[in-house]
Structure 1
Amino acid sequence: MSWWWAGAIGAAKKKIDDNYEPTQSYQSVALIIGVTGIIGNSLAEILPLSDTPGGPWKVYGVSPSPRPTWKPDHPVSYIQCDVSNADEARAKLSPLTDVTDVFYVVATCTSEANGSTLRNVLRTVVPSAKNLRHVCLQTGTKHYVIEESLDPPFTEDMPRLKNKNCFYYTLEDVLFEEVKKKESSNVTWSVHRPNTIFGFSPHSLINVVGTLCVYAAICKQEGSPLLFPGSKEAWEGYSAASDADLVAEQQIWAAVDPYAKNEAFNCSNGDVFKWKHMWKVLAEKFGIEEYGFEEGKNVGLVRMMKGKERVWDEIVKKNRLKEKKLEDVGVWWFADDVLGVGGMIDSMNKSKEHGFLGFRNSKNSFVSWIDKYRAFKIVP
């Protein structure tokens, strides 16, 4: 059974090898920039596995914050480093001369900041890592949608929008520019554009599953209905999602497969869903009987969750949860962004044509990540 197929059908749900033993001989060395993020966390789980393509892998993980208490004990060399600071990035990343593959899976809020942060990393790693082979850059479906939208389903050959403020475009331009500077021309790249990501990372700015779990827990605590906070278009229309493990698998595939070099790929689960069906799943997982969409009450989570800190404090104390502050686990503005639109459908044809056949059942993915937030005592 091939590796991507095992992941697709869920046979690889247990990520940490029981018999894992560190090895002194590695075929590949990964540098994950953004290791505590929603994709970085999945990469940190999957790369060290004994059957991961390109392995055995040695893994460095970089984050600006200390290693979080919820972070599983992956066999990853954790480096606390603010890569937006050029001097700090140079000091802490230049000694990593054995890196063969960079996975850049972090994003800040502005085009300029994103571009300079990626540049700081590549200007350090590209010259110092003599055996560097590949750079994976993660962007997203917003490549096709800013203030205006291209006509879905989105395909990778669509032209860029005229809006120059899309930081994804900036990131791509920096990637192409810096990789070309490598003296040898054999460093390759890939760009990965996931849709709405279902995954695990309590402090990620793009954590929709965790945020919805927190909202549901508050509704359950108050005895209030689980009202859909987004638009009718999102409630009734089709949406797509990207399982975080699937995105990580696609990036690893791109790093090791010659047919994936120097290409951009969409990455979604391969199916579609409606939020009105997923909402029923969320309500059932938290034991909420009354739920649904009510016109006029869909005012967004930013408004609906204002002043709920005391309720969350009660939930934390009652259930002995790990995350104490509501603002640390509820990314209301991002959930409002996701649930405010529908029809953001992308095509996976190019990815499949190049050889990546991984997929996920979006409903099962949603449930599995809810279960993980509970298992790690982030939500009750």
Structure 2
Amino acid sequence: MEQKTALVVGARGVIGGNLIEHLEALGEWDIIGLSRRGGDDRERVRHIAVDLLDREATAVALRGLSHVTHVFYAAYQDRPRWAELVAPNMAMLTNVVDAIEAVAPALEHISLMQGYKVYGAHLGPFATPAKESDPPHMPPEFNVDQQQFLERRQVGSTWTWSALRPSVVAGIGLGNPMNLAMVIAVYASMSKELGIPLRFPGRPGAYTSLIEMTDADLLAKATVWAATTPAARNEAFNITNGDLFRWSTMWPEIAAFFELEVAPPLEMDLTEVMADKEELWNAMVERHGLVATPYSDVSSWAFGDFVFAWDYDVISDASKSRRAGFHEYVDTRAMILRIFGDLREQRLIP
């Protein structure tokens, strides 16, 4: 079996962390995780801590990685405004590619993690189901810029690229700015602690619009598939669980898991409403014997506000990946309840 070496950039996020676990389970990969915080090394996994915005530090950190064959890029820098996202996220990708291309002659593939911002999902109602061939929208958009950078860079190179476009990714990962499962789990847990019913906090139209999600484990499988399958070379793919749902039908299922009643939706700004809940969270940690997690790490309320504001359908056409050979499917209801169960088992929520 040919040994491959993966460089996972953004190793501490939900996407990067699940990808490392999947690669490790396959048994044919040596894995290097790249992140600002680093991590605990294991038999086949070692971590490197580096600030990817520091070009010189990135070059130094990667200069010994001559054996890397695949780069899986899932790093992300958040900023208050969309236009401000371009510079840091382009700089990080550029610094990584410049550094690894200079030292890794056996480089075969660079995988790029994107999202529905490519289609303008963050701007308002967009053409659905979105297709990979849809025309671009008015910039700025760093997802588009990153792909165009790889397309230009790949010309004349021996390596290829792929771009994965998941919907809202669901998995377990603390301190991540885009983790809807934790948003819902902590919101529901606090509702129960306060003795109040579970209300959908988003816009009224978001409660009844169609949405889809992407399981982090399924995304990891798709990412490796695209990076190692000839039919997927130099292509972008929408990656979803394969089913659609509405919060109006999912919300009662979530409430039932937490043994809560459901009350009518009430639009609220979670960032504002949950800003004073640190004391409540700390009391819950003490009372229920939870893992002592800082309140700032347990949930990204701003991301919850972002997703729950989608009062229009947010769905894509994932048939391109199926035609190319990827056929995995995950039941979204079962996935959400499984994640809640895992969070409870790990003592992250009561």
TM-score (norm: length of structure 1): 0.86
Structure 1 position 236, deviation (Å)? 1.2
Structure 1 position 358, deviation (Å)? 1.1
Structure 1 position 306, deviation (Å)? 2.4
| 1:107 partnered with 2:83 | no
In structure 1, how many angstroms separate the alpha carbons of the residues matched to 2:262 and 2:292? 26
| 1:196 partnered with 2:168 | yes
Q: How many residues align?
A: 342
1:257 to 203, 220, 229: 229
| 1:92 partnered with 2:61 | yes
Q: 1:299 to 1:73 in 2, by over 3 A?
A: farther
In structure 2, what is the equivalent of residue 17 of structure 1?
A: none
Counting only pairs closer than 5 Å after superposition, residues 1-380 of structure 1 correspond to structure 2 as: 27-49=3-25, 52=26, 56-67=28-39, 75-109=44-78, 110-145=85-120, 146-162=122-138, 164-180=139-155, 185-288=157-260, 290-294=261-265, 297-341=266-310, 342-380=312-350
In structure 2, how many angstroms separate the alpha carbons of the residues matched to 1:78 and 1:299? 40
Q: Deviations over 1:103-160 (max 9, x none)?
A: 0011113111100000000000112111100010001011112424431100000011
Q: Deviations over 1:271-326 (max 9, x none)?
A: 001112221222122221x22433xx311311221211111010111122224322
Q: Quick one: which amino acid aligns to residue 260 of structure 1?
A: A
Q: Quick one: which amino acid aligns to residue 155 of structure 1?
A: K
Q: Quick one: which amino acid aligns to residue 293 of structure 1?
A: P
Q: Quick one: which amino acid aligns to residue 262 of structure 2?
A: Y
Q: 1:89 to 1:158 in 2, by over 3 A?
A: same
Higher-helix-fraction structure: 2
User: Structure 1: where are the runs of 5+ without partners?
Assistant: 1-24
Q: Indicate conservation of the 8 Å contact 1:45/1:74, yes or no.
A: no
Give the match's secondary structure for 2:24: coil
Q: Indicate conservation of the 8 Å contact 1:126/1:179, yes or no.
A: no
- Percent identical among aligned pairs is 30
In structure 1, how many angstroms separate the alpha carbons of the residues matched to 2:106 and 2:267? 53
Q: Quick one: which amino acid aligns to residue 87 of structure 2?
A: E
Q: Quick one: which amino acid aligns to residue 96 of structure 1?
A: L
Q: 1:375 to 1:148 in 2, by over 3 A?
A: same
Q: 1:242 to 1:303 in 2, by over 3 A?
A: same
Q: 1:293 to 1:128 in 2, by over 3 A?
A: farther
Give the match's secondary structure for 1:31: strand
Give the match's secondary structure for 1:366: helix
User: Structure 2: where are the runs of 5+ without partners?
Assistant: 79-84
Q: 1:332 to 1:191 in 2, by over 3 A?
A: same
In structure 2, how many angstroms separate the alpha carbons of the residues matched to 1:282 and 1:231? 18
In structure 2, how many angstroms separate the alpha carbons of the residues matched to 1:201 and 1:101? 23
CA RMSD of aligned residues (A): 1.8
In structure 2, what is the equivalent of residue 11 of structure 1?
A: none
